[in-house]
Amino acid sequence: MNKFKTILLIILFNGIVMSQNYDFEHSLYYNYEMFKEHSLQNRLFKHSDIVKLISNLKKNKIFEVNVAGKSVEGREIYLLSIGSGKKKIFLWSQMHGDEPTATMALFDIFNFFSDTINYQDIKRQILSNTKIYFMPMVNPDGAEVFNRRNALSIDLNRDANRLQTPEAKTLMSVFDSLKADFGFNLHDQNHRYTAGNTFKSAAISFLAPPINYEKQVDLVRLNAIKLIGSLFKMLSRYVPGHIAKYSDDYEPRAFGDTFQKKGTSTILVESGGWQNDPEKQFLRKLNFILLLSAIKQISENSFQNISEGIYESIPFNEEKLFDVVLRNLTMNKNGNKIKVDIGINFEEILTSDKKNLYRKASIEDIGDLSVFYGYTDVDLNGYELAEAKTYKEKSFSLKEIKSLSLTEIYNGGYTNLLAKNKFEDEFFDLPVNVIRNHKKELSTRFVIGAMPNFLIKKDGKVEYVVINGFLQRVSDNQDYIGNGVVIK
Ligand SMILES: [Zn+2]
């Protein structure tokens, strides 16, 4: 080998090593705030919020903006594109209305490309090699009411074959017109999945959807598998052990599987759960980084040297998490004492004005939960469960509740109060529940499906209360991170 060839090889080798150091991604991780679209602050943004942002993007010549179709209720479904390269990349988000994390990240990505100062060389390289198409919020009617399904109650991701909904028709016709090289199918999954049999939440789960029941790997799917392998390596730097693989059962009615089969290397990205991140802002940031990384890697074809074994090694999603696990509590039933763990999950409920989400808890499991984990996971060995009651001596307004000593209420054995007339709130940020209909009794039975409201005692003294599933220590006035609910 002559000297020149050696040098060339070193340059090539360094090039590969460089790209696998993921320096670009690392820089994005620390500079993310520069690009974050701050008008999207939580998961409840609506179509009108993104319409405003898109009309601003129309003024920027680098974006081509078109209306690709309309939803059942007449909301526009937009297609934005950028770049002039040969390789086509298509990203679509929120075909399930209550899965908005990636939509927020797409608007961060639009800010990244709109910026005229930073990462100019990388952007030039990306935009000369690729043309990128974005369809944010495929299901705007669902987003309006924070619902998975569209206004006809149809799950769009089961309508890829029949194409009975205008949203699915729009997605399919854009797909057919593009014949993109790569597709990104952007969703949110249950935040209680773990990455394999661990206590680590699946922050991001990937899938290269199969093309048939045999889960055959053709060249189209192989590209998706390799790129996921590279994204897994890159993301593991930030969320090690928190990346999983989504179930790879073939679903012929789903878009991902259908697009892969039709020849576009398709990657499913599911944003899952992260401790203390209910609005998924950290997961949004991970989406921003992983999608830009994917775009860059496609533009330079640098994922091709990644072994498919990495994808195979990614653990599958497992259901090992509860929102709350309270362990080793003593339950006293007719003089019989037994030791139990209690698993509690929250359901998110949209208020009737559609402006807020609050949480309502239910008991999911009672017994030996030693193979499960909780986002909140507390050992209460030596403590005893006791039923809580409703305080019925008088009724309260919200203002009165706010000035009450809740410690006294708890020490009296109560977790629920009666509401005065005109109590319009559906929930509030206080550790107590309120019953609006005074004739209604809030069940304090300790059974599966019941709302977890109870006292936790030691030596006869109330040490903790559980209000709507949230554990609260009685002695110190710790900040309450949960919400009480109003029982109608
Ligand atoms: Zn989904």
The answer to whether the CB of 71 falls within 8 A of the CB of 166 is: yes
CA of 304 to the centre of ligand 1 (A): 28
DSSP string, 268-304: EEEE---TT-TT-HHHHHHHHHHHHHHHHHHHHTGGG
CA of 266 to the centre of ligand 1 (A): 15
The torsion of the CA quartet 154, 157, 162, 167, rounded to 10 degrees, works out to 70
Residue 335 CB contacts under 8 Å (≥ 6 apart), including other chains: none
Q: Cα dihedral sign for 145, 150, 153, 154?
A: negative
Q: Residue range 49-65: average pLDDT?
A: 98
Q: Please give the sequence-ordered ranges of beta strands (E in DSSP) within 136-207, or none if there are none.
A: 182-188, 193-195, 204-207
CA of 208 to the centre of ligand 1 (A): 15
Residue 201 CB contacts under 8 Å (≥ 6 apart), including other chains: 191, 192, 193, 194, 195, 242, 272, 273, 274, 275, 321, 375
CA angle 52, 57, 58 (to 5 degrees): 100
CA of 94 to the centre of ligand 1 (A): 7
CA of 97 to the centre of ligand 1 (A): 8
Q: What is the pTM of this model?
A: 0.93
Q: How is residue 216 annotated by DSSP?
A: -
pLDDT-based confidence at residue 488 (cuts at 50, 70, 90): confident
148 burial class (0-12, 13-18, 19+ CB within 10 angstroms)?
middle
CA of 484 to the centre of ligand 1 (A): 29
Residue 232 CB contacts under 8 Å (≥ 6 apart), including other chains: 206, 243, 310, 311, 314
Pairing of strands 336-350, 484-487: unpaired
The torsion of the CA quartet 389, 395, 397, 403, rounded to 10 degrees, works out to -70
Q: Residue range 261-287: average pLDDT?
A: 97
How many angstroms separate the CA atoms of 86 and 301, rounded?
13
CA of 149 to the centre of ligand 1 (A): 10
The answer to whether the CB of 368 falls within 8 A of the CB of 396 is: no
Domains of the chain and CATH, by start: 23-319 (3.40.630.10), 321-487 (2.30.40.10)
How many angstroms separate the CA atoms of 345 and 188, rounded?
18
Instruction: Share the mean pLDDT of the chain.
Output: 93
CA angle 218, 220, 222 (to 5 degrees): 65
CA of 204 to the centre of ligand 1 (A): 13
Residue 55 is encoded by which pair of tokens? 């009309």
CA of 255 to the centre of ligand 1 (A): 11
pLDDT given for residue 17 in this prediction: 42
Residue 29 is encoded by which pair of tokens? 């991780």
CA angle 224, 225, 230 (to 5 degrees): 95
CA of 140 to the centre of ligand 1 (A): 14
CA of 99 to the centre of ligand 1 (A): 6
In sequence order, which ranges of 130-268 are alpha helices (DSSP H)? 140-144, 166-178, 219-236, 255-261
CA of 477 to the centre of ligand 1 (A): 39
Neighbours of ion ligand 1 (CB under 5 A): 96, 99, 187
Continuous segment of H or E residues that includes residue 339:
strand 336-350
397 versus 285: the higher-pLDDT residue is 285
103-135: pLDDT as tens digits = 999 999 999 999 999 999 999 999 999 999 999
Residue 485 three-state SS: strand
CA of 425 to the centre of ligand 1 (A): 31
The answer to whether the CB of 351 falls within 8 A of the CB of 369 is: no
333-359: pLDDT as tens digits = 888 999 999 999 999 999 999 999 999
CA of 186 to the centre of ligand 1 (A): 7
241-251: pLDDT as tens digits = 999 999 999 99
CA of 93 to the centre of ligand 1 (A): 9
CA of 109 to the centre of ligand 1 (A): 21
CA of 188 to the centre of ligand 1 (A): 5
446 versus 152: the higher-pLDDT residue is 152
pLDDT at 443 exceeding the cut of 80: no
pLDDT at 14 exceeding the cut of 50: no
CA of 43 to the centre of ligand 1 (A): 14
CA of 271 to the centre of ligand 1 (A): 9
CA of 350 to the centre of ligand 1 (A): 18
pLDDT at 467 exceeding the cut of 50: yes
pLDDT given for residue 4 in this prediction: 47
How many angstroms separate the CA atoms of 452 and 102, rounded?
33
Residue 207 CB contacts under 8 Å (≥ 6 apart), including other chains: 228, 245, 246, 247, 248, 256, 267, 268, 270
pLDDT at 27 exceeding the cut of 50: yes
Q: Residue range 163-190: average pLDDT?
A: 98
CA of 313 to the centre of ligand 1 (A): 24
pLDDT given for residue 476 in this prediction: 65
Residue 67 is encoded by which pair of tokens? 């209306």
